[in-house]
Structure 1
Amino acid sequence: MAEKTTTALEFDFLADKLTLLLAQEDLAGIEAVVHDMSAADLVRVLEREDPGDRAIIYRLLRRDVALEVFERFEPSMRGELITGLRDEHVVSVFEALDPDDRASLVGELPAAVSAKLFDGLSEHERELTAPMLGYPPSAIGRYMSTEFLRIGPAWTCAEVLDLVRDRGAEAETVYLLMVTGPSRILQGVLSLRDVLLADGDAEVRGLMEEPEFVVASEDAETAARRAVRTGRMVVPVVDEENRLIGILTHDDATRIIDRADEEDAARAGATEPLDRPYLATAVTSLVRSRIVWLLILALSAILTVQVLEMFEESLEKVVTLSLFIPLLTGTAGNTGSQAATTVTRALAVGEVRLRDTARVAWREVRVGVTMGLLLGALGVLLAGVFYGWEFGVVIGLTLVSICTIAATVGGIMPMVAQMVGADPAVFSTPFISTFCDASGLIVYFLIAKAVLGI
């Protein structure tokens, strides 16, 4: 059944009404308002409230709605909400979570709270959750699910269907079944569709396919992208000895990729990603997410100032040179950022690897030269008409040079970052823009001195 949608006007009305009821401490009124709201709208409302009011509203939700809303929160929001709930609500929500969601929540809670919650879990739920906690948050094993069905190669299709009927409700998914041999060694995977279409006495070994899997200790983003590329709804997760220990669903892999992309986008814009919605983020947290980058960029911009100081005498002789500085530095920065963004994405999705560095550099050289020639021709024409053809040549040659340099550097820097184990996104826009500004100015003044004889 499709979730009821709310218009922006209706949502604003409900949000304002809840704010008023909270101020009046009218719990009955709040309960009446939230009763008919969809989970999506409730998440949006709760994200706007402060932690205290958020916990009050959450305690008034129906149990089934409360769990759905909780599962839609970011891990950091879940941790904050848990600390604001009473014990009976906390235990109820924690027990109802899927093991992988439970594991991600643990990292957002104080150790004492986590230990208390685990003590309240049933033995079965603790056994399902414990394997994920053995891996760091950066590993894909932290995001796997331990709720899956496992079959043997000698099983018949009739036996497989009996297992699906008996235990399918307990599993994360039944559409792809894991085939293991002795010691849980992964041997293959079997689609439920193939089971349904085969004879009941057909053996699994004749129907199973070669498994595409990820290793639990792998980097989460890398493994998630590879899992999505398989086109499967679920991918097996194995340990270093190829023993099956979990599964990674397409939905979980997609969420990992989305978070990684958001992080890259934030860092490309010279800020740290927020771990919760904007309105739920404290002002001090917003400042912390930006101030470090501003300080780094301010210090790196000193390089540009020093370049201008080096060529101060040239600027005094030909004041017109200063008019084109914003154009040239902007073109250099944008060209470098375009190349860096393109290559960073190509690295993330596996289209290029470190061994392709030379090929990437040569490709970006050609791209930069081509763009530089197009922009340079326009620069020669416009600058020549208004400031003289000699000056037009300076602008044209500078555009060709800086586009070539910026594209090449922008393309290589993300790969250098990956070589040294840094985040390619960090090395993209902020640092590349500053570098290209400084190098572009040096090229500009050197060409001007050569052509104009200053």
Structure 2
Amino acid sequence: MPPVTAKDLNTAIDDGRLAYVGRELSALAPQEAAAVLDAMDVGDRTIAFRVLPKNDAVHVFDELTPGAQAALIRSLGTAEVADAFDRMDPDDRAELLDELPSNVAKALIRSLSPAERDATAVVLGFRRGSVGRRMSPEFVHVYPDETAGSAIDRIKERGRDAETIYTIPVVDHQRRLVGVASLRDLLLSASDTLVDEYTKSPIYAYASEDAESTAQRCIDRSLMAMPVVDREERLLGILTLDDAAEVVAAARDEDEARAGAREVLKTPYLHASILAITRARVVWLFVLAISAILTVNVLEIFEGTLEQRVALALFIPLLTGIGGNTGSQAATTVTRALATEEVTPRDAARVAGKEVRVGLTMGAALGIVGFAVASAVYGFDIGTVIGTTIISVCTMAATVGGLMPLLAKTVRVDPAVFSTPFISTFCDATGLIVYFMIAKTVLGI
């Protein structure tokens, strides 16, 4: 039989077949059950979650998105989800708390056991967006001067509460990170062998570093876990590969949304409210509307030029489209290179040099075509204006589009904020200025 779907459960709830709902959800793996619940609207999701057996509900709750978890807490009440909240990993718990009203968050924190409250406080002590906020403070460490047998005993004793045990941080007795050891090496070694013999140089991150870039580094190097330390290199926690993948996926969704001039929806589209969808889009539309006024002002300034040579107006959509697309292509390419650490703000001069040459090359190719077509239809002088403008606009747009993400990174702003529509509008205004200045020079008007 095919697996149950959100639509099946919605129908069953409408028919009052709650036993069927609980049975079908319990038969699914927690990740699959969470995916089904995420696709349901809040009311039916709450009912479906209520009929889950307690042990299943705890595991399913942990797999829900933070937005779905927050919605459940609001509809169920904190007391009903306190057990599931207590059993979440501290980093996931911190992410959920960011979604909740302060009074609800405080109530849930009070429901934690002292040990879990302390672990969550460690994560919450770091700014949002830092890897310290996404690390897990639940790990097992070993010492370089102890035997493999002693290390294995500690792993067995504490491993159930740890986020992962496959990569083991090695610390000195002042808790400073000295390396990492593989569980495989420790298990296969003689029990009296010192851990130091299997300790490798660590790839680690400082807790204050950006979560996205750290997570990408963890993935690129195929690390099962990356130690996270403070400025004195004392071990604070670990970032696991699955958590790193979640961070990168969330950042990718955010970048794609902002490139389309909107924010990420925290609930599935069909279940998102009209107000939520409007909020996700309207702010960027205001920004773009204000920036588009620049284009109107430019046209107003050169109104007299257009009156003398009406044919110039026919090419405005072509030139603004080429400029906006060229700038957006450059910005997208450099933003991706920043995310994968192929470039840094220190490479601004090299990026500018490369984009000038790329823009000049593309502009020359397009400019020749534009010159030929415009000359054939409107004469040599108009063709010269169009060809020269295309070369200039492509070069300028590629350079500006390539440098804007680097500027954003320098001032600690998300490069995705300089989204495709924003750069397009900027290039429209400056491209028109270039266009009319060239036209006045060539045509003598």
Same fold, judged at TM 0.5 (above): yes
Aligned pair 1:97/2:97, yes or no?
no
Matched, 1:116 2:107: yes
Of 213, 234, 237 in structure 1, the residue corresponding to residue 228 of structure 2 is 237
How many pairs were matched up? 445
1:174-189 equivalence runs, <5 A: 174-189=165-180
Alignment CA distance shift 1:15-1:431 (3 Å)? closer
The answer for the alignment partner of 2:299 in structure 1 is: 308
The match for 2:71 among 80, 89, 105 is 80
**Corresponding residue of 1:246:** 237
- 1:38-75 alpha-carbon deviations (Å, 9 max, x no partner): 55554444334332321111111244543343233221
Correspondence for 2:424: 433
| Residues 245/301 of structure 1: CA separation in 2 closer, same or farther (3 Å cut) | same
Counterpart-to-counterpart distance in 2, 1:93 and 1:407 = 51
**Alignment partner, residue 388 of structure 1:** 379
> Aligned residue for 1:414?
405
**Within 2, Cα distance between the matches of 1:288 and 1:84?**
22
SS of the counterpart of 1:182?
Answer: coil
SS of corresponding position for 2:416? coil
Q: AA paired with 1:138?
A: G
Aligned counterparts, 1:180-329, within 5 A: 180-329=171-320
Q: Does 1:139 align with 2:127?
A: no
Match of 1:164 among 120, 137, 155: 155
Moved more, 241-250 or 40-49: 40-49
Q: In the alignment, which residue of structure 1 is the partner of 2:342? A: 351
CA distance, structure 2, for counterparts of residue 432 and residue 115 of structure 1: 42
Q: Distance in 2 between matches of 1:58 and 1:248?
A: 30
Separation in 1, partners of 2:121, 2:63: 22
Aligned partners of 1:290 and 1:124: how far apart in 2? 42
Q: Which residue of 1 aligns with 2:439?
A: 448
Q: SS at 1:321's partner residue?
A: helix
Q: Which runs of structure 1 show a deviation greater than 6 angstroms over 4 or more consecutive aligned residues?
A: none
Show CA shifts across 1:186-220 (max 9, x none): 11111122223433322112220122211222232
Q: Deviations over 1:322-348 (max 9, x none)?
A: 221111100000000011111112122
Q: 1:5 to 1:368 in 2, by over 3 A?
A: farther
- In structure 2, C-alpha distance between the alignment counterparts of 1:299 and 1:112, rounded to whole Å: 37
Segments of structure 1 that go 5 or more residues without pairing to the other structure are none
Q: Which TM-score applies when normalising by structure 1?
A: 0.91
1:398 has 2:378 as partner:
no
Following the alignment from structure 2 to structure 1, what is the Cα–Cα distance between the partners of residues 130 and 96? 15
Paired letter, 2:341:
G
> Aligned-pair distance for 1:243?
1.4
Displacement of 1:29 in angstroms is 4.3
Q: Which amino acid in 2 is paired with 1:388? A: G
CA distance 1:115–1:348, shift in 2 (3 Å): same
Alignment partners' CA distance in 2, 1:426 and 1:87: 35
- Tell me which residue corresponds to 1:341: 332
Partner of 1:71: 62
Counterpart Cα distance in 2 of 1:145 and 1:5: 36
Give unmatched runs, 5+ long, in structure 2.
Answer: none
Instruction: Determine the C-alpha separation between the residues in 1 that align with 2:306 and 2:322.
Output: 20
CA contact (8 A) 2:26 2:56 kept: no
Cα drift, residue 301 of structure 1: 0.9
Which residue of 1 is the match for residue 12 of structure 2?
21
- Calculate percent identity across the aligned residue pairs: 50
Contact 1:372–1:402 (CA under 8 A) maintained in structure 2: yes
1:234 to 1:291, Cα distance in 2 relative to 1, 3 A: same
Q: Is the 8 A contact 1:146 1:245 kept in 2?
A: yes
TM-score (structure 2 length as normaliser): 0.92
CA contact (8 A) 1:47 1:280 kept: no
**2:285 is aligned with what amino acid?**
L
